[in-house]
Amino acid sequence: MFGVYFGRYLQDVGVITKEQYEDIIEKSRTARVKMGLLAVNEGMMTPAQAEEVNQIQAMKDARFGDIAVEKGYLTDEQVGQLLKKQGDSYLLFVQEIVERDILDLEQIQKHLNRYKKSERFTALDLDALKSADIDKIIPLFTKECNAPAVLKDYVALMARNIIRFVDNKVRFERMEAVNTYTGKCIASQGFSGDYEIFIGLAGPGNKIIGEKFGAEEFDEIDEDCLDAVCEFINVSNGLYASKLSEEEVKLNMMPPNMYVDVTTISSDGLMFVVPCFFKDEKVDIIICMESRWSIS
């Protein structure tokens, strides 16, 4: 997932174009990190050794790992460790940027430092983003908002389900506290019981959620599309209710609702919005808790 964040930053500052950004993200879905880049990044080989093996490989029908072991640069155990890391999202992005002659490794590090500063990330935050672990990434975008832990837990669960059922290249932004929200194409469902919670998904990105989860193409975001989004919310809410039931918290899932036209949600209490993007298509996760909310 690292590429969707750092790549968008590089697009915003003019280092790569929108087309390059989207092409790199698409290629990263199936690409694998080259063994040489991994070995150098892990400190197992020097850049000169990796280049030597690459040159030998260009003249010999053999795998990089086999040549490196034969030369004494790597052990079989190290090759096994590297093979497990070939899906590393950070290195996949770096590999594409370097191979396209857009930036070299030193330039990438400089931009990475600027990105970290612009986003107010710590070194540990950046490590979390590089990890591609959604349970480490989501707290980066919710920690500054004074939301109850129970709501942050729900956002993490929703994010996991978006990645599992919709798109693992989604990009999340920081949670915001609001009093009103106005938008179109809203699918929603509430909880009653020990907690009173409203959950909504709003925006043009709901077409992607509806199509992916409903396994059906829609010409527009109509009631059929939003019905599929409501089913997605229902699955997430069911998992959430089951999780909290283990902590003896009782939640009842209310019937889902959908709003195709412009709609305003207002709350006199806790209300939060988490934006997320499928490429440029935005979906807002809207959550109200323990307050009176109204929809008009």
**Predicted confidence (pLDDT) at residue 87 exceeds the cutoff of 70:** no
- How many Å apart are CA 6 and CA 270, to the nearest integer? 31
Q: How confident is the model at residue 263 (pLDDT cuts 50, 70, 90)?
A: very high
Tokens at 259, concatenated: 């709003």
Q: How confident is the model at residue 88 (pLDDT cuts 50, 70, 90)?
A: confident
Greater confidence, 219 or 34?
Answer: 219
Mean pLDDT of 249-253: 93
Q: Can you identify the CATH homologous superfamily of domain 148-295?
A: CheC-like (3.40.1550.10)
Q: What is the pLDDT of residue 255?
A: 95
Mention every residue, 6+ apart, whose C-beta is less than 8 A from residue 266: 179, 180, 293, 294, 295, 296
Q: Please, what sign has the CA dihedral across residues 159, 163, 167, 170? A: positive
Tokens at 15, concatenated: 């280092």
Q: What is the pLDDT of residue 58?
A: 64
Q: How confident is the model at residue 20 (pLDDT cuts 50, 70, 90)?
A: very high
- How many Å apart are CA 119 and CA 140, to the nearest integer? 10
Q: Which of 116-125, 129-138, 163-172, 232-241 is least confident?
A: 129-138
**Predicted confidence (pLDDT) at residue 200 exceeds the cutoff of 90:** yes
CB 159 within 8 A of CB 283: no
- Tell me the whole-structure pTM to 2 decimals: 0.81
Mean pLDDT of 34-62: 84
**Predicted confidence (pLDDT) at residue 275 exceeds the cutoff of 70:** yes
Q: What is the pLDDT of residue 243?
A: 87
Rg (CA), the chain: 22
Q: What is the pLDDT of residue 226?
A: 96
DSSP track, 270-281: EEEEEEEEETTE
> In angstroms, how far is CA 9 from the centroid of its own chain?
15
Question: What whole-number percentage of the chain has pLDDT above 70?
Answer: 98
pLDDT tens-digit profile of 166-182?
988 899 999 999 999 99
Computed over every residue of the chain, the mean pLDDT equals 90
Beta-bridge partners for 188 = 200, 257
Structural domain spans, the chain: 2-131, 148-295
pLDDT tens-digit profile of 151-170?
999 999 999 899 888 988 89
Q: Taking CA 153 as the corner, what is the angle to CA 147 and CA 159, rounded to the nearest 5 degrees?
A: 110
Q: What is the pLDDT of residue 29?
A: 75
